[in-house]
Structure 1
Amino acid sequence: MSIEHLVLISLAVLFAAFVQGATGVGFALIVAPVIGILRPELLPVCVLVLMLPLNFYVAWRERAAVDRIGASWITGGRILGTAGGLWVLAALSANHLAIFVGLSTVAAALVTLMMPAFAPGRRAFVAAGLVTGVTETATGIGGPPLALVYQHQAPPTMRSTIALCFLAGELVSLATLLVAGRIGSSQLIAAASLLPALLIGAWLSRVVHHRIGGRFLRAFVQVFAIVSGVALLVHAA
């Protein structure tokens, strides 16, 4: 990875880790389009690897607020959806994958912005898990479906539960990608080089996460995701 690309992606990672640490969502929505534009061959492994320590930290920090029942249903659906994500990854070229990331990012952000308030149940949890399994395994982006079902819950519950679901799902996705031979040394080296930026962003989120409700930052993330997704589509076209 060139120095220029490393600096640009590191800035995105730092900001994204701060946003997700503070609100519970946003890391992949911010980072995946940036990596898709600069280094698409790193998707989705680099994003999935980086999210492991971030989500472990957030889940542990607010572990008392975790919705364990909802997380269990989501994880079950997430495991079932992993096969679909692997099929998408195998079927698409790097350029087509970039288009898929851009479209899924924009669509997910728009849905999240327009979705009315509702009380999630078992079906909603399983559906969110299924969609997340497909999109996160294929692109590294899995936050919007989970944000949909928890967007009206208390911020600590949203952050901790989504982080726990992410953590379990990312382990499943990475194990599946490893068995399928889709993980290379270049992706792991890139993730390691971006780890300092991740740690700084996560630490900064610790300073503010208890002071904000997250509504403003969640809206900002969705707007940023739409802009990033459109930029990725333009670049891929």
Structure 2
Amino acid sequence: MIELVLVNLILLIGACLQGLLGFGLGFFSAPLLFLLAPHYVPGPMILNALLLTLLMSIRNHRSLEWRQTGYALTGGSVGVLAAAVLMSSLAVSQYRMLFGALMIIAVLLSLIGAHPKLSPRNNLIAGMLSGFMGTTTSAGGAPMGLLYQHAPPPLRNAHLSMFFLYINIFGMIVLWLSGMSGWADLVLFAQSVPALLLGWALSDLVGRHINARSLRQMILTVAFASGLMSLLQ
């Protein structure tokens, strides 16, 4: 019972952060749940992210630029398939180390001051990396977020939400067909929906009272610490 309460609290906070900043469920909730309740990663967390990216896509779809997005989706598909092949051959201890390493890499990518050019080639590369990391850890936002960090907010939000909507759908299909996800993941997802929707709704209420920069630093600190703990277990 205590675990269920903590899980839903973590999901509620992650969904609220996602609504506020455009990320948070993967960086905040996924690493904490991997330590507390590892059966939530990756399947149920991908489904949780799917719900939130659907809401974000509905909100931002008018600003989408399909040419750039198409290259990102192609790269993302390759990344998802590569992740599924790798995950099918890993033992639990190996997956824990992979999760920790990728989480730390994602944080470092989010912190570096690089300014990659917004181009079809970079969309393809970032899409591939985000697809791979999103399928293995449920936190694949760093490569694509790095590419779009200086894009106009409407374009950035529309592209990222549509990209991750597709990646989450495709990732779940691949995991399901490969036997790495099943009905138990759907049950856990269904139990998570109330916390996700409540967190999403709260983001509109608390947004004006929150320092976004401080929140971002807190999320990345949690993600880095959780990744490090996964490596050291």
TM-score by length of 1: 0.89
CA deviation after TM superposition for structure 1 residue 20, in Å:
1.4
* Counterpart residue number, 2:48: 50
- Name which of 121, 124, 128 aligns with 1:130: 128
Give the unaligned 5+ runs of structure 1: none
Q: Distance in 2 between matches of 1:97 and 1:41?
A: 12
* Counterpart residue number, 2:220: 222
Q: CA RMSD in A?
A: 2.1
Give aligned-pair identity as a percent.
27
* Counterpart residue number, 1:82: 80
Q: Is the 8 A contact 1:82 1:134 kept in 2?
A: yes
* Counterpart residue number, 1:100: 98
TM-score by length of 2: 0.91
Residues 5 and 213 (structure 1), Cα distance of their counterparts in 2 relative to 1, 3 Å cut: closer
CA deviation after TM superposition for structure 1 residue 116, in Å:
2.2
- Name which of 130, 139, 144 aligns with 1:141: 139
CA deviation after TM superposition for structure 1 residue 211, in Å:
8.7
Q: How does 1:162-181 map to 2 (within 5 A)?
A: 162-181=160-179
- Point out the more displaced range, 10-19 or 65-74: 65-74
* Counterpart residue number, 1:184: 182
1:102-154 deviation per Cα after TM superposition (whole angstroms, max 9, x unaligned):
11111111121013234321111111111122122222221111111111223
Q: Distance in 1 between matches of 2:65 and 2:17?
A: 21
CA deviation after TM superposition for structure 1 residue 47, in Å:
0.7
Q: Distance in 2 between matches of 1:155 and 1:191?
A: 30
Residues 112 and 212 (structure 1), Cα distance of their counterparts in 2 relative to 1, 3 Å cut: same
SS in 2 for 1:62: helix
Aligned pair count reads: 233
Q: Is the 8 A contact 2:122 2:147 kept in 1?
A: yes
* Counterpart residue number, 2:62: 64
Residues 65 and 224 (structure 1), Cα distance of their counterparts in 2 relative to 1, 3 Å cut: farther
Give the unaligned 5+ runs of structure 2: none
Q: Distance in 2 between matches of 1:165 and 1:230?
A: 28
* Counterpart residue number, 2:114: 116
